[in-house]
């Protein structure tokens, strides 16, 4: 099932692997974040993937909704047992969110586990929002799977604007309880993963009322189903939200309360408390701390975007090495489609972007840990910058990754449209991450606020924080001198970002001067502000990516250094060519330099070509994790397509019942 014997490998793939001129394992170590990480990951994979329970006899998409759900629960339970009984020994508790675990989960779940939010949001929120005593109460139960939780914030009527949530939690001092209530249809909780039929507990975000006063939204731990019978409690209406583009085994649910009571202790009280008598007490630094959790989740999503794009790139590159099509030279054999420059143009940027996002993610992670350490010392100054950075990185990485996964699918022609290629499911999963945990536009506008403020500081000569330090140079308002060296390109991208931010600030100034309110001026500039944020983010990724490549290949073999740098350069040149309009406006680049850049790009494609299969092999995905007929290590593409097709229930009988019921009567004119 994994790499199989060399004998079975498609001869074209075999040749590709012989051509590869660098040490694949070295690149794997870099991508995993170090040799120790790779070894741990492989150990986890060996334990978890050594059992048959992860494999579906029939592809889960062939089942009906109930069967799919039940099958997903089955696998979730088996998987939870493996995690509890075997994996946590290897990794320790903090590794719950580790890439090693993340990867093995993907072998079990092509789509999403109904338990995902339990470990992904329920447990972390308990850690983040509960007092130590509350943690002592809830955490062991949650980790032992004695309770299963969901996280319900979004309502039918509100997602982005959390302050607008309508669910209320009103404190009743007589009984020392909170009364949860859903006053309107739009206040129905909607979307929470695991909530529909699985969870027996749920973190509910509601407007807190006590002593007749509203204190805004707060989280509560709410038991919703009987632990023994699993029946919803009276006053709780819970169910499935209906079918979705993806996430169809994630069990996204809705939830309504009718004057439903929970004990006072179920309010998560780390950041704010309600005393027995109903007095509300706020704990300091509430907001900045919540920032912290948000940043954590976003860093995870950046890595997730990289991870899934790497899968798509692996599938499409391997398939393109096996697929032969067309005859550009009469009489010669059909070339591997990987030999077409247009195909390389589609695919190599995907490999490079997976590297860029992964290394930027790891870098952000380290930065985040440093900020956390500062926070423990009481210093939260870097948090706004980190928040701004993580916002735009989350937005751009999920969006880029989704778009490029589609590009991988297109590159596989019709066969990419088969679900068994796994490309459609990868897309439907990643495109959702563009929306949840902060909508793309909304996040970029958050970053834009930070950028415009920073620009005003730059203009008034104040010291800038590291990620926006480049604004200082740009305040001089001269075009940056173009050069196609890596540094020159990064400086140009920064000049573009600075130029766009400055233009936004100017536009806002112009409008307010002529009598527009500041809010309206901001609104009227939002289309440009989004573009400015994107430019800032691109410059940041380019800088972080190159920085990390340099750092991480410092002690590598020469050939690894070369190929890693080729990819990173490709990324920079690609984005320069995508943004020629910006470069012409904010740098001195001229026609002949643009032509040179195009040639350089085409040269890089040719240079990377012989190492393409090696580069995707270096992502080191086991076949069980890729779930792809087109992308398996051995390249038995056509055999797998056929094998997978034959599993369809529609191939069980040679004639379907609808023939007798409808088609024949129709043909005989007797319908």
Ligand X SMILES: Cc1cc2nc3c(=O)[nH]c(=O)nc-3n(C[C@H](O)[C@H](O)[C@H](O)COP(=O)(O)OP(=O)(O)OC[C@H]3O[C@@H](n4cnc5c(N)ncnc54)[C@H](O)[C@@H]3O)c2cc1C
Q: Does the footprint of ligand X cover residue 390 (CB under 6 A)?
A: no
CB 518 to ligand X: min, Å: 15
Q: Which is nearer to a copy of itself, 313 or 375 (CB)?
A: 313
The interface with ligand X within residues 521-540 (CB under 6 A) comprises none
Task: Decide: is 279 part of the binding site for a copy of itself (CB under 8 A).
Answer: no
117 binds, among a copy of itself, ligand X, none (CB under 5 to 8 A by kind): ligand X
CB of 263 to ligand X, least distance (A): 23
Write the DSSP symbol of residue 253. Answer: E
Please state the closest distance from residue 665 (CB atom) to a copy of itself, in A: 8
| 527-546 residues labelled b (16+ CB within 10 A) or e (exposed) | ebbbbbbbbbbbbbbbbbbb
159 binds ligand X (CB under 6 A): yes
- Piece in contact with ligand X (CB under 6 A), picked from 73-81, 373-381, 412-420, 655-663: 412-420
Does residue 607 touch ligand X according to CB under 6 A? no
Distance CA 652, CA 658 (A): 14
Element (H, E) at 431: helix 423-433
Q: Which residues contact 627 (CB under 8 A, 6 or more apart)?
A: 106, 107, 110, 422, 425
515 is in an annotated binding site: no
Is residue 191 part of the contact set for ligand X (CB under 6 A)? Answer: yes
Could you give the CA distance from residue 337 to residue 612 in angstroms, rounded to a whole number?
Answer: 13
Does position 500 bind ligand X by CB under 6 A?
A: no
Q: Of ligand X, a copy of itself, none, which one sits near residue 598, judging by CB under 5 to 8 A according to partner kind?
A: a copy of itself
3-state secondary structure of 437: coil
Q: Are 278 and 210 in contact (CB under 8 A)?
A: yes
624 is catalytic: no
Specify the residue, 252 or 401, whose C-beta has the smaller distance to ligand X: 252
Number of amino acids touching a copy of itself (CB under 8 A): 137
For residues 481 and 492, give the distance between their C-alpha atoms in angstroms, rounded to a whole number.
8
User: Comparing C-alpha atoms, which of 26, 5, 101, 36 is closest to residue 618?
Assistant: 26
Query: Using the rule CB under 6 A, which residue among 201, 323, 387, 561 binds ligand X?
Result: 323
Q: How far is the CB of 343 from ligand X (least distance, A)?
A: 6
Q: Binding site annotation covers 4?
A: no
599 CB neighbour count, 10 Å cutoff: 10
Which of positions 571-600 make contact with a copy of itself (CB under 8 A)? 579-585, 591, 594-595, 598
Q: Is residue 428 a contact point for a copy of itself (CB under 8 A)? A: yes
Give the C-alpha separation, 74 to 519, whole Å: 52
Residue 198 touches a copy of itself, criterion: CB under 8 A: yes
| HEC assignment per residue over 92-139 | CHHHHHCHHHHHHHHHHCCCCCCCHHHHHHHHHHHHHHCCHHHHHHHH
Residue 455: in which H helix or E strand, if any? helix 440-459
Pick from ligand X, a copy of itself, none: which does 603 bind, CB < 5 to 8 A by kind?
none
Binder of residue 419, out of a copy of itself, ligand X, none (CB less than 5 to 8 A by kind)? a copy of itself
Nearer to a copy of itself by C-beta: 43 or 609? 609
Least distance CB 647 / a copy of itself (angstroms): 7
Which residues 247-286 are close enough to bind ligand X by CB under 6 A? Answer: 247, 252
Residue 287 interacting entry, from a copy of itself, ligand X, none, C-beta within 5 to 8 Å by type: none
Binding to ligand X by residue 44, rule CB under 6 A?
Answer: no
Q: Which of 29, 254, 493, 574 binds a copy of itself (CB under 8 A)?
A: 254
CA–CA gap between residue 434 and residue 437 (Å, rounded): 8
Within 116-135, the residues that bind ligand X by CB under 6 A are 117
Residues β-bridged to residue 180: 169, 260
Query: Does the footprint of ligand X cover residue 340 (CB under 6 A)?
Result: yes
Measured CA to CA, the distance from residue 46 to residue 104 in angstroms comes to 9
Residue 638 engages ligand X in binding (rule: CB under 6 A): no
Report the partner that residue 151 touches, choosing among ligand X, a copy of itself, none (CB closer than 5 to 8 A by kind): ligand X
> Hey, what are 400's tokens?
């880029």
Q: CA 549 to CA 360: how far, in whole Å?
A: 10
Residue 589: DSSP 8-state: -
Which among 224-232, 372-380, 381-389, 435-443 is the span making contact with ligand X, rule CB under 6 A?
Answer: 435-443
Q: What are phi and psi of 249, to 5 degrees?
A: -110, 10
Query: Can you tell me which residue has the tokens 């990419």?
Result: 416
DSSP letter for each residue of 303-324 = HHHHHHHHHHHHHHHHHHHH-B
Cα–Cα distance list, 130 to 150, 189, 206, 280, 294 (Å):
16, 22, 16, 16, 16
Interface residue with ligand X among 91, 125, 129, 154 (CB under 6 A) is: 154
Yes or no: say if 503 and 490 are a contact pair by the CB < 8 Å rule. Answer: no
Which of a copy of itself, ligand X, none does 406 bind, CB closer than 5 to 8 A by kind? a copy of itself
Residues 164-193 that bind a copy of itself (CB under 8 A): 164, 185-186, 188, 190-191
For ligand X, the binding residues in 438-457 under the rule CB under 6 A are 439, 441-442, 445
Whether the Cβ atoms of residue 336 and residue 309 lie closer than 8 Å to each other: no
Does 509 bind a copy of itself (CB under 8 A)? Our answer is no
Catalytic-role residue among 86, 176, 265, 437: 437
| Contact (Cβ atoms closer than 8 angstroms) between residue 617 and residue 2 | no
In this chain, which of 180, 306, 432, 480 binds ligand X, going by CB under 6 A? 432
Q: How far apart are CA 491 and CA 482, in angstroms?
A: 8
* Interface mask toward a copy of itself for 62-81; x: CB under 8 A: xxxxxx-xx--xx-xxx-xx
Closer residue to ligand X, CB minimum distance, 362 or 613: 613
Q: Which residue is nearest to ligand X (CB)?
A: 159
Q: Which of 351, 353, 349, 342 is nearest to 393 (CA)?
A: 353
Residue ranges of the annotated binding site for FAD are: 154, 193
Binding site for ligand X (CB under 6 A): 117, 151-154, 159-160, 191-193, 247, 252, 323, 325-326, 337, 340, 342-343, 411, 413-415, 417, 432, 435-436, 439, 441-442, 445
Residues catalogued as catalytic: 437
């Amino acid at each position: 099932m994994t790499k199989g014997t060399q004998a079975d490998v498609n001869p074209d793939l075999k040749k590709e692997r012989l051509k590869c001129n660098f040490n694949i394992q070295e690149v794997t170590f870099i991508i995993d974040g170090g040799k120790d990480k790779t070894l741990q990951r492989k150990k986890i994979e060996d334990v978890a993937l050594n059992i048959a329970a992860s494999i579906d006899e029939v592809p889960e998409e062939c089942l009906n909704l109930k069967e799919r759900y039940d099958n997903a629960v089955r696998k979730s339970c088996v998987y939870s047992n493996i995690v509890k009984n075997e994996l946590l020994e290897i990794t320790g508790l903090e590794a719950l969110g580790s890439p090693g675990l993340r990867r093995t989960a993907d072998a079990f779940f092509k789509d999403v586990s109904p338990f995902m939010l339990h470990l992904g949001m329920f447990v972390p929120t308990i850690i983040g929002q509960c007092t130590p005593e509350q943690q002592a109460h809830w955490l062991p139960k949650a980790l032992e799977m004695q309770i299963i939780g969901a996280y319900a914030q979004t309502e039918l009527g509100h997602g982005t604007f959390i302050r607008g949530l309508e669910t209320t939690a009103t404190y009743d001092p007589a009984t020392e309880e909170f009364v949860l209530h859903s006053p309107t249809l739009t206040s129905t909780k909607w979307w929470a993963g695991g909530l529909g039929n699985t969870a027996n507990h749920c973190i509910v975000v509601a407007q807190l009322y006590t002593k007749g006063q509203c204190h805004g939204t707060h989280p509560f731990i709410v038991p919703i189903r009987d632990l023994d019978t699993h029946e919803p409690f009276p006053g709780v209406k819970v169910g499935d939200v209906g079918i979705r583009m993806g996430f169809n085994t994630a069990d996204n649910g809705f939830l309504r309360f009718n004057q439903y009571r929970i004990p006072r202790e179920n309010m998560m009280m780390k950041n704010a408390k309600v005393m027995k008598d109903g007095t509300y007490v706020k704990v300091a630094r509430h907001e900045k701390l919540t920032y912290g959790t948000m940043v954590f989740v976003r860093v995870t999503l950046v890595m997730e975007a990289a991870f899934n794009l790497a899968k798509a790139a692996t599938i499409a590159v391997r398939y393109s090495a096996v697929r032969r099509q067309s005859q550009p030279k009469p009489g010669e054999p059909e070339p591997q489609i990987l030999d077409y420059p247009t195909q390389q143009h589609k695919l190599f940027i995907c490999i490079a972007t997976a590297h860029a996002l992964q290394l930027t993610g790891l870098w952000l992670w380290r930065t985040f840990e440093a900020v956390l350490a500062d926070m423990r010392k009481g210093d939260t100054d870097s948090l706004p910058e980190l928040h701004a950075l993580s916002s735009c990185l989350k937005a751009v990485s999920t969006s880029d990754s989704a778009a490029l996964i589609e590009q991988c699918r297109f590159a596989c022609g019709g066969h990419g449209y088969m679900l068994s290629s796994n490309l459609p499911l990868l897309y439907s999963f990643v495109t959702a991450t563009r929306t949840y945990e902060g909508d793309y536009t909304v996040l970029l506008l958050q970053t834009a606020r930070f950028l415009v403020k920073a620009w005003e500081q730059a203009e008034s000569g104040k010291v800038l924080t590291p990620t926006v330090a480049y604004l200082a140079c740009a305040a001089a308002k001269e075009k940056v001198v173009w050069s196609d060296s890596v540094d020159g390109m990064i400086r140009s991208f920064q000049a573009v970002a600075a130029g766009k931010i400055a233009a936004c600030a100017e536009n806002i100034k112009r409008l307010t001067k002529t009598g527009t309110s500041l809010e309206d001026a901001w609104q009227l500039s939002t289309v440009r502000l989004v573009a400015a944020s994107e430019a800032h983010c691109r410059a940041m990724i380019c800088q972080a990516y190159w920085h990390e490549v340099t750092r991480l290949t410092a002690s590598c073999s020469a050939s690894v250094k070369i190929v890693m740098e080729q990819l990173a350069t490709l990324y920079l040149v690609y984005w320069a060519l995508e943004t020629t309009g910006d470069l012409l406006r904010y740098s001195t680049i001229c026609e002949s330099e643009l032509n040179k850049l195009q040639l350089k790009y085409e040269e890089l494609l040719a240079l990377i070509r012989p190492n393409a299969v090696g580069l995707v092999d270096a992502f080191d995905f086991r076949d069980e994790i890729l779930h792809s007929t087109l992308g398996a290590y051995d390249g038995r593409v056509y055999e797998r397509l056929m094998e997978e097709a034959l599993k369809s229930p529609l191939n069980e009988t040679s004639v379907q019942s609808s023939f007798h019921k409808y088609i024949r009567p129709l043909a005989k004119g007797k319908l």
